[in-house]
Structure 1
Amino acid sequence: MPRLFWGILALIVVGAAIFASMLRFDGPPAPAPEVARRVAAVPNAPPAPSSGERIRWRGGLLTVPVAGVARSAIASSWGDPRGGGTRLHRGNDILAPGGTPVLAAADGVVEKVFFSNGGGGNTLYVRSPDGRWSYYYAHLAGYAPGIAEGMRVRAGQPIATVGDTGNAGPGNTHLHFGLSAMAPGERWYQGRAVDPTPLLTGASLADPAARR
């Protein structure tokens, strides 16, 4: 009897172990917000509606950040595919000859002077006086004399020159201008990209062409 009992018990244990090995436990299904987050992280996923529709901008129009360029000459490149379709453009490219002065689009403080052989190349990040906005200037050929981190700049002040540094491509001289909404405590490389086109051209946010 004892042998029979232990034999049956051993068979039960072995059977339970085999059955358990056939199961795969992945945890509970991801809730809807998590699924949405994962989809949004896919590079080729459709972009969310322009942040410009959800923000309150009280600063009026930005100064055109390239000397001699008319507002009417600025075309939106927001949301255009880049890197062979692996990412979406989060800014506005303003074409101009190399060496053209780059102007501060608004008052602020130079938060970061940054250089990279790729990406934006020579760049400047300027934070608005209230800390809520970051203005991003990329592919610069160089900086205006005296430009340094912590320096205050005024709208229309020359701060750099147009170039083709970083991943712009040789001869493709232009300014990449970006605008980001900043939460308290966020640093220069953080923030939420916002389409700057309407604030450069004066086009209404209600115009679909201004929210490409």
Structure 2
Amino acid sequence: MTRLGAIILLIIVVAVVGFASMLSFGSAPVRPARIERTAPQASVAPSRLSSDVNLSVPVAGVGRGALRDSWGDAREGGERGHHGIDIMAPGGTPVIATADGQIEKLFESGRGGTTLYQRSADGRWMYYYAHLAGYASGLREGLRVRRGQLLGYVGDSGNAGAGNYHLHFGLSRMTSSERWWQGESVDPYPLLARPRSER
């Protein structure tokens, strides 16, 4: 073997050894369990929330018995789970503050359409109102609101679908450092559907 041939062979051996050192010849890697896309995020048990949250139904004239639980229902062909409750009502029905708090964000989004984020008075909860037809006159970010105060009107904005009038209402547990789009999603249905005397 010539000197040039020995150098080329040495380079090939070093390259093969280097490549092999980057590979793992142990057991096959463990694949994470498949996450069901339609499964909701883990929600906080309602019993843990009973003393923390006291909500009114955020659509005027809708009784607690008329509410239907849609938490975790498939959306977008099963690509995601529903994180809230849809409260059906005619277009233009007043949407009211579910509790005391402060308007944190007025926002137009593709999914939610005309939306409103309200932080609770103690700062630990975010209330999300979506698919609105519009806001109440004088509503602005930073405004303090009281339970039952007019916020806007039921609509079909965003991806609700034309004529599918309803309020999408969401609830998130917040830390003091989290912003309006953050927080841990919590199923609002058990809190809205229970008579207030049970809280």
Q: TM-score range by the shorter chain?
A: 0.7 to 0.9
Q: Of the candidates 143, 146, 158, which is equivalent to residue 154 of structure 1?
A: 146
Correspondences of 1:44-63 after superposition (within 5 Å) = 44=37, 46-52=39-45, 55-63=48-56
* 1:50 Cα offset (Å): 2.5
Residue pairs, 1:161-180, within 5 angstroms:
161-180=153-172
Mean Cα deviation higher: 61-70 or 163-172 = 61-70
Of 10, 16, 21 in structure 1, the residue corresponding to residue 14 of structure 2 is 16
Kindly provide the amino acid, as one letter, of the partner of residue 108 in structure 2: F
Change (3 A) 1:168 1:104: same
Find out whether 1:181 has 2:173 as its counterpart.
Answer: yes
Instruction: For 1:99 and 1:77, locate their aligned partners in 2 and report how far apart those are by CA, in whole Å.
Output: 22
SS at match of 2:163: coil
Choose 147-156 or 15-24, whichever is displaced more: 15-24
- For the Cα contact (< 8 Å) 2:38–2:73, is it kept in 1? no
How many Å apart are 1:184 and its aligned residue? 2.3
**Is this contact kept in 2: 1:61–1:202, CA < 8 A?**
no
What residue number does 1:82 align with? 75
TM-score, normalised relative to structure 1: 0.79
Return the TM-score normalized by structure 2.
Answer: 0.84
Match of 1:208 in 2: none
| 1:210 paired residue number | none
Deviations 1:10-56 (A, max 9, x none): 63442231343356547x99x99x947xx55xx61633442235854
List gaps (5 residues or longer) in structure 2: none
Q: Which amino acid aligns with 1:18?
A: V
Partner Cα separation in structure 2 for residue 174 and residue 19 of structure 1: 64
Q: Bigger CA drift: 194-203 or 158-167?
A: 194-203
Give the equivalent residue in structure 1 for 2:136. 144
Number of residues of Structure 1 aligned to a counterpart in Structure 2 = 193
For residue 199 of structure 1, give the secondary structure of its aligned residue in structure 2.
helix
Quick check: which one's helix share is greater?
1
After superposition, the Cα gap between the structure-2 partners of 1:45 and 1:163, relative to the gap in structure 1 and judged at 3 Å, is closer
The answer to whether structure 1 residue 92 and structure 2 residue 85 are counterparts is yes
97, 102, 117: which one aligns with 1:125: 117
Report the alpha carbon displacement of residue 61 of structure 1 after superposing the two structures with TM: 3.4
SS of residue paired to 1:135: strand
Q: Distance in 1 between matches of 2:124 and 2:50?
A: 10
State the one-letter code of the partner of 1:58: S
Structure 1: runs of 5+ lacking an equivalent: 204-212
What's the Cα RMSD here? 3.0
Choose which of 186, 198, 203 in structure 1 pairs with 2:190: 198
